[in-house]
């Protein structure tokens, strides 16, 4: 299945799906929490992926904006941040291990898609030193930390609102 045309069409389809999801992600309040989760995830994705790619652990032979970036711009700045918003929405009222459980339910399908892409396409190549468990663990941990940050900011905001009322 190493067909470049298929891979480019797959990326274009994912771009359309990702852009189509955006209006629905930011429909329910608190919108500023979702925007913050999206922005924080996108920013850290770009930094982490740049580090991983520049150290030769991963490579993206077929990607959008190939001449401008060596990272996977589509995943880093659109798809994974959108999933991060979904995770934050799905765990909005949850605490502790229930958050982690739901995050794992989101990261397992992402992992299998990456595994398929690594084995069957030229969308991603794991280099020496990078294994499947690095992907699964890093995405799960990063999603959990993102959710904890948004929850922490929400608590601070709630305390500030309570202080204004007094």
Q: What is the pLDDT of residue 166?
A: 67
Give the Cα separation of 54 and 71 in Å (integer).
9
Contact 35, 146 (CB under 8 A): no
Q: What is the pLDDT of residue 106?
A: 97
pLDDT mean for each 10 residues of the chain (166 residues): 82 96 93 96 95 92 89 95 97 94 96 91 87 90 96 91 78
* Model confidence pTM above 0.75: yes
Q: What is the pLDDT of residue 102?
A: 97
Give the Cα separation of 116 and 37 in Å (integer).
27
Contact 123, 63 (CB under 8 A): yes
Distances (CA, A) of 154 to 40, 87, 145, 161: 14, 15, 14, 10
Q: What is the pLDDT of residue 2?
A: 58
DSSP string, the chain: ---HHHHHHHHHHHHHHHHHHHHHHTSSS-HHHHHHHHHHHHHHHHHHHHHHHHTTSEE-SS-TTTTT-SS-HHIIIIIHHHHHHHHHHHTTT--THHHHHHHHHHHHHHHHHHHHHHHHSSS-EE-TT--HHHHHHHHHHHHHHHHHHHHHHHHHHHHHHHHHH-
Which sequence spans correspond to the domains of the chain? 4-157
């Amino acid at each position: 299945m190493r067909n470049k045309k298929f891979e480019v069409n797959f990326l274009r389809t994912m771009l359309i799906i990702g852009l189509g999801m955006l209006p629905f992600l930011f429909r329910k309040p608190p919108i500023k929490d979702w925007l913050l989760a999206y922005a924080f995830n996108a920013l850290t994705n770009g930094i982490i992926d740049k580090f991983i790619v520049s150290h030769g652990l991963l490579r993206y032979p077929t990607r959008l904006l190939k001449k401008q970036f060596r990272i996977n711009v589509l995943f880093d700045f659109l798809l994974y941040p959108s999933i991060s918003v979904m995770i934050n929405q799905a765990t909005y009222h949850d605490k502790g291990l229930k958050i982690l459980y739901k995050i794992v339910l989101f990261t397992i399908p992402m992992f299998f898609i990456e595994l398929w892409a690594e084995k069957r396409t030229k969308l991603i190549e794991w280099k020496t030193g990078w294994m499947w468990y690095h992907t699964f663990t890093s995405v799960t941990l990063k999603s959990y930390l993102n959710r904890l940050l948004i929850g922490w900011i929400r608590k601070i905001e709630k305390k500030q609102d309570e202080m204004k009322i007094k």
